Amino acid sequence: MSQKLHLVMGGRVRDPQTLEFTDLDQLDIVGVFPDYAAAEEAWRANAQRTVDDAEMRYVIVHLHRLLQPDLLQG
């Protein structure tokens, strides 16, 4: 079984409907996680912490899809 890494990050966006971050130097890199469940837990904690700020967005990036694009076939 291959490792499926996930990155959780967030920051201030120009428009809450997009993922265009306003200041890449201020991105909050929460961390890299070994599976989706752990990443989702970290994402949820940060998203809930900033729920009242519409311009703050946190996302889960599927690093394994970038590192091993052949996995997209399956």
Round to whole Å and give the CA distance between 68 and 62.
10
Round to whole Å and give the CA distance between 62 and 59.
10
pTM: 0.83
- Tens-place pLDDT, residues 5-54: 999 999 999 998 889 999 999 999 999 999 999 999 999 999 999 989 98
- Tens-place pLDDT, residues 43-58: 999 999 998 998 999 9
Show the CA angle centred on residue 49, arms to residues 27 and 51, nearest 5°.
90
The answer to whether residues 56 and 16 touch, using CB atoms and an 8 Å cutoff, is no
Domains of the chain (ranges, CATH numbers) = 6-73 (3.30.70.2400)
Q: Place 69 in a pLDDT band, splitting at 50, 70 and 90.
A: confident
SS3 4: coil
